[in-house]
Amino acid sequence: MFFIILLITALSCNDVGKSEKLNQSQSEDINDKSLTINFNFKTNKTDVFKIMMNNIQVDELQKKNVHIFENVVPSSSQDEIIGKFDAGDISRSIHIHLGNKERKEVEIVSIHLSYGENQINIATPEDLDKYFVFNKFIEKDPTSKKLKTIKINGQHNPVFSLKLNLINFLTK
């Protein structure tokens, strides 16, 4: 009788261990996804561009911001910033900052985003309008991918942000 009870206890402990391992591997698959943003552009001024993800939920009480800085210089060929965020880091507040040292022109060649298996390449002026919001410090040419940054009342803070439809597409 003692051996039967011992055998049943041992077998039930194995099933619990297997179930915990299965749940752990499923949550690791979800957290293995990471966001990568490849921003290809041309600019006519030296500055510091940033790719920013703000309000990333760490736990119930904490949030964090991740900013990727890149020094850019004027060139006739295209430049690239690759922003790679940690696995599991995703928020609804993702921005590209075009530097605030001085006014400049920026031509977007393409922006490629990937999160897990989901990928999208933004390469047309229509795509820019569909997937991004430009703040008041950016004048966008509606027929091209050229942006001009402007100062308003002595301030210069050119930023464009991912729209929720793009974030939802990437995270589905």
pLDDT tens-place string over residues 96-115: 999 999 999 999 999 999 99
Which value, in Å, is the radius of gyration of the alpha carbons in the chain? 23
Q: Tell me the percentage of the chain whose pLDDT exceeds 70.
A: 84
Q: What is the pLDDT confidence band of residue 75, given thresholds at 50, 70 and 90?
A: confident
More confidently predicted of 58 and 95: 95
| Residue 164 pLDDT > 80 | yes
Residues ≥6 apart with Cβ < 8 Å to 166: 113, 120, 131, 132
Assigned fold of 35-171: Lipoxygenase-1 (2.60.60)
Closest C-alpha to 156, from 48, 43, 52: 48
Q: Indicate if the pLDDT at residue 76 is higher than 90.
A: no
Instruction: Give the mean pLDDT of the chain.
Output: 88
- Per-residue b or e along 94-111, where b marks 16 or more CB atoms closer than 10 Å to that residue's CB: bbbbbbbeeebbbebebb
